[in-house]
Amino acid sequence: LTLNGTGTLNVTGSYRHAVCSKDDLVITGGTYVVNAVEDALRGRDCVKIADGDFTLTAGGDGIKSNKDTKATKGFVSIEAGDDGIQAQTYLRIAGGELDIAAADDALHSDLEGILSGGTLTIEAGDDAFHAETKLVIDDGTVNVKACYEGYEAEKLYINGGNTHIVASDDAINAA
């Protein structure tokens, strides 16, 4: 299933998943407002997102790929020409497996951010995870293969997790 274009798609999944593919789910652009009883975006073999603006509300997972019988399937990949994931006020990642390649920040919040679980592989042209005011790292595994700065925020709290950052400037910057 491939969704592309510059339009807006509003989807409500009243029974189970809102947008679901038994194989690959590929999104190349557009604006998506998705509400689901279970998962918002689900591709069994993979979910690949090249661009787009997403508002996801889910009783289950926001973005999910669950093929576990092949080592090359069951992944989520986000590639962005700007920020990989951008939030106006609060960006929270509490689990899942994300591969993000972004020309700017991989993860960006104009206020606060928290990582409390999950496995992230990141390549960013600028920051791996940038929050303007406060960034909290409580848990999770983060492998930043390349970035300008790794974790950046005015106040930065690293309480746990496993982090590896390759940065051309600061790996950790609290300014």
Can you give the pLDDT at residue 163?
A: 97
Provide the sign of the torsion angle of the four alpha carbons 38, 42, 45, 48, taken in this order. Answer: negative
Single-letter amino acid, residue 102: A
Distance CA 89, CA 96 (A): 21
More confident position, 64 or 144: 144
| Residue 110 · residue 83 · CB < 8 Å | no
Mean pLDDT of 82-92: 84
Q: Is residue 72 predicted with pLDDT exceeding 80?
A: no
Q: Is residue 151 predicted with pLDDT exceeding 80?
A: yes
pLDDT band, residue 51 (cuts 50/70/90): confident
- Residues facing 61 on adjacent strands: none
In degrees, rounded to 5, the angle at the alpha carbon of residue 143 between the alpha carbons of residues 115 and 28 is: 80
Distance CA 43, CA 117 (A): 21
Distance CA 165, CA 156 (A): 15
Can you give the pLDDT at residue 9?
A: 95
More confident position, 62 or 125: 125
Of all residues in the chain, what percent carry a pLDDT higher than 90? 57
**Structure-token match 């689990």, residue found:** 95
Residue 55, classed as helix, strand or coil, is: strand
How is residue 155 written in tokens? Answer: 């106040």
| Residue 122 · residue 104 · CB < 8 Å | no
Q: pLDDT digits over 99-110, tens only?
A: 888 889 999 999
Can you give the pLDDT at residue 77?
A: 77
- Average pLDDT of the residues of the chain: 90
Which pTM does this prediction carry? Answer: 0.74
